[in-house]
A and B are shown apart, each in its own frame.
Chain A
Amino acid sequence: MFRRILTLLIALGSALPATAALNVFATVPEWAALVREIGGNKVSVFTATTALQDPHRIEARPSLLAQARRAQLVIATGADLEVGWLPVVLRDSGNAEIQRGRPGYFEAARWVTLIDIPAVLDRTQGDVHAAGNPHIQLDPRNLFRIGEALAARLGELDPPNAAAYVAGYQAFAVKWRNAIARWEKEATPLRGVPVLVHHQSFRYLGQWLGLKETGTLEPKPGVEPSGKHLSSLLATQQNTPARMVLRTAYQNAGPSEWMAQKAGIPAVMLPFTVGGTPEAGDLFGLFDDTIRRLLKGLN
């Protein structure tokens, strides 16, 4: 009886028609946008989070389990960004193909050089990420290596379309290289500009554009800004004046608005990922809008 039920369940599971397009489960919007650039209509993409959600604080909602169950490829950032929910989603999905170590699990952070790898792992230093800072998408140069590896992975999972994925990546890379050259030119005035940040969300962006972080509104990573810490930051503003305060679309506006008002500098909300602002509709829009907002903050 037991075996008969099992057989029936398996038969049910495999009998349901697989959709023509490759089912992709992207943890965050930037990887959804990237896989759409590469895969076009050959991929059907589900995005687990939006730009208005802190990807670290998501719960393993039933809808995420249902989507992971049907996914052929999970694209995650890794570096512990999704550690609070993705392991549960993967485990309870009953989907063998997307488990860690399988071709159906792709971790973007493995393809780039992470920065801010802590020398000492100690939670008294806040919610530190052992692998390094996971907000890798804001250095557009990282997307070459990630995109190239992703195209190869898509081809491995969907061999008939392998050439299309390669072509998709190559077309994207050409456009992307031109766009980067344009952004770097536009962003020249941002070189060396000192900024305050809410959380260390912009380390890769800063590294790319040459922004100088003079302080973080959070006293420790993941710890909410306190009045005491903000006051001490305001004091350091006298000696090392920052030109603006940066935050992401999902972070509370309060602390950066407070600092902006007290220090007489603009608070700049950056889209952080695709969908963070109406203008950041895709990867190109993300950086167009980021640089536009930063330049506006300078004036």
Chain B
Amino acid sequence: MVSKPLAATALVVAAFGAHAADDSDLAAIRAQIAEMKQAYEQRIAALESRLAAAEAASRNTAAPATAAPSSTPGIATAPLATAAPAEPAPVPTNRVQTAASAFNPEISLILQGQYAQMKNVPDRTITGFWPAGGHDHEGGKGISTRGFSLNHTELVFSGGIDPYWRGQAILAVQDESVEVEEAWFQSLAIGHGIGLKGGRFRSGIGYLNEQHPHQWDFANAPLMYTALFGQEASFRDDGLQLKWLAPTPMFLEFGTEVGRGANFPGTDTNKNGAGAWAAYAHVGDDLGISNSWRAGLSYLRTQSGDREAEFVDVNGLAAQGLFSGNTSTWIADFVWKWAPDGNPKYRNFKFQSEYFVRKDKGNLTCQDEEGVGNACANPVTASYDTRQSGWYAQGVYQFTPEWRAGLRYDQLDSGTQNLGANAANLAVDNYRPQRWTGMVDYSWSEFSRVRLQYAQDKSMAGLTDNQWIVQYIMSLGAHGAHKF
């Protein structure tokens, strides 16, 4: 580009060099040189643009009809079709897919595991709270597992079933079994703000309840969720969910669910009708461009028939308690998220807090199943009436695209536990479990994260457990879309 005008200049200079140049000659030469230079540059630019156009055209040969050079489009050459046009064939890709596999659902695989260092407590419970069974991973040790372990290997399948329904299944793969964590269908075509879901699903109550462990901001669930629903820290049910989103500028959603109610705090009653039902309302909005929030209130009612737990009798001997009755759980939740200009990629902050009150109402039977000679050698059935509560609050700050840090505080209150006539037989603890948790995590990308967590756990009376957890969460496959 530079050499041609230079050569031209040399020629011109040579041609005129023989003459003794006066000022007017020099000016003329300068003008001529400038003119030639400009002409050459224009021609070179034109050539380059033609080359670029040719390159673009050769790239576009796969879909020639969709190439739209600037000289041809518009009303004159491409008259607007007034009839509804058919969608054009999707832009062809150069990947070969057989017709059958093209309909495969979206698949993703979650890999999650940890190293935990904490006190050796074989069967962790929360003092003053009914020891919920829940499903145990890792050979029945669950949250008591120390050292290296896998937390959760989840396989997620999802996709459209037809224009009316969408389906999703989440399978938790463990050493000797595959558990169906969730398997549901969801309506797409009812409209009017109505969403219908059926199958096995995580209930829409609370805020954290619907989230799977890999979406949590800490390596374990808040104490509140463990106390409410056991180690799985989520109320899951087989049933139906009906939601309605109001047509208002502010987010306002109502939901109700009916289901089998087989999971804690309910038991599998194997009867006609529903064993559990839930109702909730969510409200949320943005505050300016940088803040958004959601608040909710939920109610869950479950039934129990002979829900079992290990108690201790007044003499410190093991006794079995069987609860039959109803459990009402109220949860209030609040989430607030902040990101500068609403762009969470570089920096953002998330605050969340939930509060619950749970009431058991029914009868408790105390018995001596193992024959240890406790106070209930002759089974005693008496009224059982509790009111327990708790809350947690947590904040997580992402200060670079990769790094986040978070702090959480948990507190529960064993509240009132009226055992009626069994108060003379069984000992129950009045206790306020507490826990402080801090974490730092690093994400290489949206798909991989490693986390270091420290907790000072006082969830068991008389025990202060300093717990360290290093955890990884990796996801492969389809790009998941997460809820707020």
Chain A residues at the B interface, C-beta cutoff of 8 Å? 6, 9-10, 13-14, 16, 49-50, 52-54, 57-63, 65-67, 69-70, 80, 83-88, 91-97, 99-101, 103, 109-115, 117, 119, 121, 123, 126-127, 130-132, 140-142, 144-145, 148-149, 151-153, 155-156, 162, 166, 169-170, 173-174, 176-177, 180-181, 184, 188, 191-192, 207, 210, 222-224, 250, 252
Q: Which of B188, B444, B482 sits near A59, CB closer than 8 Å? A: B482
B194 touching A10, Cβ below 8 Å: yes
- Which residue from chain A places its CB closest to the CB of B91 in the assembled complex? A114
Contact residues in A for B59 (Cβ distance below 8 Å): 115
CB proximity of B209 to chain A, nearest CB, Å: 16
The distance in angstroms between the C-alpha atoms of A59 and B479, with both chains bound, is: 14
B80 touching A166, Cβ below 8 Å: yes
CB proximity of A63 to chain B, nearest CB, Å: 4
B292 touching A61, Cβ below 8 Å: yes
**Contacting residues of chain B (266-287) with chain A, CB-CB under 8 angstroms:** 282-286
A62 touching B284, Cβ below 8 Å: yes
A93 touching B70, Cβ below 8 Å: no
A96 touching B251, Cβ below 8 Å: no
Contact residues in A for B192 (Cβ distance below 8 Å): 9-10, 13-14, 94
A95 touching B193, Cβ below 8 Å: yes
A110 touching B91, Cβ below 8 Å: yes
Interface check B148, CB cutoff 8 A: no
Pick 26 A–B contacts, CB within 8 A, sort by A.
A10-B194, A14-B192, A53-B341, A57-B343, A57-B344, A59-B344, A62-B484, A66-B246, A83-B481, A85-B482, A87-B481, A94-B192, A112-B68, A113-B68, A119-B95, A121-B95, A123-B445, A131-B91, A141-B70, A155-B84, A177-B74, A191-B49, A192-B45, A207-B52, A222-B445, A252-B401
Mask, B43-69, CB within 8 Å of A = 1, is: 001001100100010011001001111
The distance in angstroms between the C-alpha atoms of A130 and B73, with both chains bound, is: 28
- Which residue from chain B places its CB closest to the CB of A146 in the assembled complex? B68
Q: Please provide the 3 A-B residue pairs with the shortest distance between their CB atoms, ordered closest to farther.
A: A62-B284, A62-B251, A96-B191
The distance in angstroms between the C-alpha atoms of A112 and B190, with both chains bound, is: 32
Contact residues in B for A130 (Cβ distance below 8 Å): 93
B193 touching A110, Cβ below 8 Å: no
CB proximity of B365 to chain A, nearest CB, Å: 34
CB proximity of B56 to chain A, nearest CB, Å: 6
A93 touching B45, Cβ below 8 Å: no
Residue of B68, B81, B401, B445 most packed against chain A (CB within 10 A): B68
CB proximity of A66 to chain B, nearest CB, Å: 4
The distance in angstroms between the C-alpha atoms of A108 and B322, with both chains bound, is: 61
CB proximity of A291 to chain B, nearest CB, Å: 14
**Residue total for B at the interface (Cβ-Cβ under 8 A):** 82
Mask, B329-365, CB within 8 Å of A = 1, is: 0000000010001111110000000000000000000
The distance in angstroms between the C-alpha atoms of A144 and B80, with both chains bound, is: 11
CB proximity of A240 to chain B, nearest CB, Å: 15
Contacts A63-B285, A174-B74, A222-B446 given: A152-B85 contact, CB under 8 Å? yes
Contact residues in A for B244 (Cβ distance below 8 Å): 9, 13, 94
CB proximity of B195 to chain A, nearest CB, Å: 5
Contacts A13-B193, A173-B74 given: A60-B484 contact, CB under 8 Å? yes
A250 touching B343, Cβ below 8 Å: yes
Contact residues in A for B166 (Cβ distance below 8 Å): 91
B82 touching A152, Cβ below 8 Å: yes
Interface check B457, CB cutoff 8 A: no
Given contacts A62-B293, A85-B482, A144-B78, 16 further A-B pairs with CB under 8 A are A50-B342, A61-B284, A62-B251, A63-B292, A65-B245, A66-B246, A84-B446, A88-B483, A92-B483, A93-B193, A94-B191, A94-B192, A95-B191, A103-B84, A112-B66, A131-B93
Q: Which of A53, A92, A132, A173 sits near B245, CB closer than 8 Å? A: A92
**Contacting residues of chain B (349-392) with chain A, CB-CB under 8 angstroms:** none
A123 touching B344, Cβ below 8 Å: no
- Which residue from chain A places its CB closest to the CB of B350 in the assembled complex? A59
Contact residues in A for B476 (Cβ distance below 8 Å): 123
Interface check B462, CB cutoff 8 A: no
The distance in angstroms between the C-alpha atoms of A224 and B245, with both chains bound, is: 38
Contact residues in B for A109 (Cβ distance below 8 Å): 91
CB proximity of B95 to chain A, nearest CB, Å: 8
A52 touching B68, Cβ below 8 Å: no
B481 touching A84, Cβ below 8 Å: yes
**Contacting residues of chain B (16-66) with chain A, CB-CB under 8 angstroms:** 45, 48-49, 52, 56, 59-60, 63, 66
CB proximity of A175 to chain B, nearest CB, Å: 11
A59 touching B484, Cβ below 8 Å: yes
B482 touching A88, Cβ below 8 Å: yes
The distance in angstroms between the C-alpha atoms of A155 and B81, with both chains bound, is: 11
CB proximity of B270 to chain A, nearest CB, Å: 23
CB proximity of A206 to chain B, nearest CB, Å: 10
- Which residue from chain A places its CB closest to the CB of B284 in the assembled complex? A62
A84 touching B45, Cβ below 8 Å: no
The distance in angstroms between the C-alpha atoms of A66 and B410, with both chains bound, is: 32
Contact residues in A for B393 (Cβ distance below 8 Å): none
Interface check B216, CB cutoff 8 A: no
Contacts A62-B251, A94-B244, A152-B81 given: A83-B479 contact, CB under 8 Å? yes
- Which residue from chain B places its CB closest to the CB of A132 in the assembled complex? B91
CB proximity of B54 to chain A, nearest CB, Å: 12
The distance in angstroms between the C-alpha atoms of A52 and B88, with both chains bound, is: 32
- Which residue from chain A places its CB closest to the CB of B292 in the assembled complex? A61
Interface check B177, CB cutoff 8 A: no
The distance in angstroms between the C-alpha atoms of A6 and B250, with both chains bound, is: 22
- Which residue from chain B places its CB closest to the CB of A181 in the assembled complex? B70
CB proximity of B272 to chain A, nearest CB, Å: 16
Interface check B147, CB cutoff 8 A: no
CB proximity of B346 to chain A, nearest CB, Å: 6
The distance in angstroms between the C-alpha atoms of A109 and B447, with both chains bound, is: 25
Interface check B163, CB cutoff 8 A: yes
